A = this chain, B = another copy of it.
């Protein structure tokens, strides 16, 4: 405890790094959409595909693997024929869903204001 200020600064930076790591998980193009679609029900692969609409197989697969890797969704394979795989949020995923819903709420509430702000800003600065 010789240099508490330094300690604090370091852990602060480390905390920021962790936060960014996590934010990059949900900051990609599809994670939030998929998490919302999962909600509190379990869904199958192509079901998610339809719901998250123009998502490609590749991206859905990658997104789900990322979420599974982080312990946010579970993947259960029923080896029937045809094969069937169910995805669902884990408790941790559900807790994230709450946060994400707040975010979505805010986005919905402020979407038009933001769009207006953008066009106003762009009118003042014509591109080139």
Contacts and interface: CB of A to CB of B under 8 A. Distances in A.
Interface of A: 13, 15-16, 18-25, 27-29, 32-33, 53, 68-71, 92, 95-96, 99, 102-104, 106-108, 110-115, 117-118, 121-122
Contacts of A111: 15, 18-19, 21-22
Contacts of A71: 113-114, 117, 121
A118 B70 contact: yes
Nearest to A124: B69
Total identical chains: 2
Given A13-B53, A103-B103, 7 more contacts: A19-B111, A21-B114, A69-B118, A70-B117, A70-B118, A95-B106, A99-B102
